[in-house]
Amino acid sequence: MVTTGTGSEFDSAMTFMGRHCSLSRTRRLPPPRPNGSMTESGQPSDSGNSQIIDDPAGIADLLQRLLDGAVLIEARPRGSRMLLLTAVVDLDRQRGRFAIDSGRDAELNRAILASEALEISARLDTIPTRFTAGRFTATTGPDGVRFEAELPDRVVYLQKRRYFRAGVGTALDLRCRIAAENLALPGVALLDVRVLDIGIGGLALLCSEAEANALMAAPGPLPFRLRIDRRDGLAATLMARHSAVVTGARGAAARKVGCEFVALDATAEAGLQRLILTLERERIARDRQLR
């Protein structure tokens, strides 16, 4: 059972946490710049090199990664010079809430509880991640006092567009067709494989062992054409860069081959951007139907 801490009971708990908790620290920083990483409304600003995650399932998945990796996060009460270095310590998907560890400084802890929201940032797999959440309340958990709030409405994942990948759902038949004349695949004239994910920088293909080995051994860039629901799409060239063993839906082993696009022109890149936007919209629509 989680209970709310108030008054002298809360201050005593803060003193206890200051003596025994080694994770959380505080520091004072200059006030945030007006054109910094947050907008005037307190929401993270959009960037040309950012991915906006605004579906609850995706946000919960990201917070789960912060929790599982014990990732250090920075939490600043809105408009304050004070900063709490802490970590996500709990995630409740059913209730739509998460919790962060409290700090050693009782004054900062009270400022966090009094603030309308916290501006939170972290580096997840070296990629800056930012969101705003609040209002926080003090609760007690297995390790002492923590601060709890509802999941944020959206998260800005500051990943360069080149490295962003949009997953391809089963509802869309997206395939990659590669002429096999330069591949070590006897008897195969055209390699036709499923696309698992795609981005501005490249795509991932689901291949058999022989297909993956042939792609990895290709002597140079390979011309390809995307085929979307049996309609021809983008035509360009690619190079296979890495492969890994994956397990299919029925438990069968396969290979995932990561490929890099070679010398995309402006027209091809614009077409890719439209395709990625379509894939993301379909994914969000599917997630909403499942809720």
CB burial string 144-157: b at 16+ within 10 A, e below: bbbbbbebbebbbb
Strand partners, 141: 144
Structure tokens at 133: 């959440």
What's the sign of the alpha-carbon dihedral 51, 55, 56, 60? negative
pLDDT at 111 over 90: yes
Mean pLDDT of 234-248: 85
Whether the ω angle into residue 135 lies within 30 degrees of 0, i.e. cis, is yes
C-alpha span between 288 and 267 (Å, rounded): 32
Evaluate whether 83 touches 91 at the Cβ level (below 8 Å). no
Q: Does the structural domain 7-159 have CATH classification 2.30.110.10?
A: yes
pLDDT band (50, 70, 90) for residue 288 = low
pLDDT at 190 over 50: yes
Share of the chain above pLDDT 90, in %: 33
Domain layout of the chain by residue ranges: 7-159, 162-290
pLDDT at 7 over 80: no
Average pLDDT, the chain: 77
User: pTM for the whole thing?
Assistant: 0.46
Which pLDDT does position 29 carry in this prediction?
Answer: 40
Which among 31-40, 111-120, 226-235 has the top mean pLDDT? 111-120
C-alpha span between 218 and 227 (Å, rounded): 22
- Residue corresponding to tokens 């500051």: 158
Q: Is 2 helix (H, G, I), strand (E, B) or coil?
A: coil
pLDDT band (50, 70, 90) for residue 81 = confident
Q: Which one-letter DSSP state was computed for residue 200?
A: S
Segment 158-162 long-range contacts (CB within 8 Å, at least 24 positions apart):
158/47, 158/49, 158/50, 158/51, 158/127, 158/128, 158/129, 158/130, 159/49, 159/50, 159/51, 159/127, 160/49, 161/48, 161/49, 161/199, 161/200, 162/199, 162/200, 162/201
Which among 96-100, 137-141, 164-168, 251-255 has the top mean pLDDT? 96-100
Mean pLDDT of 139-161: 84
What is the Cβ-side half-sphere exposure of residue 136, based on CA atoms within 13 angstroms? Answer: 31
- Fold (CATH) for 162-290: Thrombin, subunit H (2.40.10)
Length of the chain: 291
pLDDT at 16 over 70: no
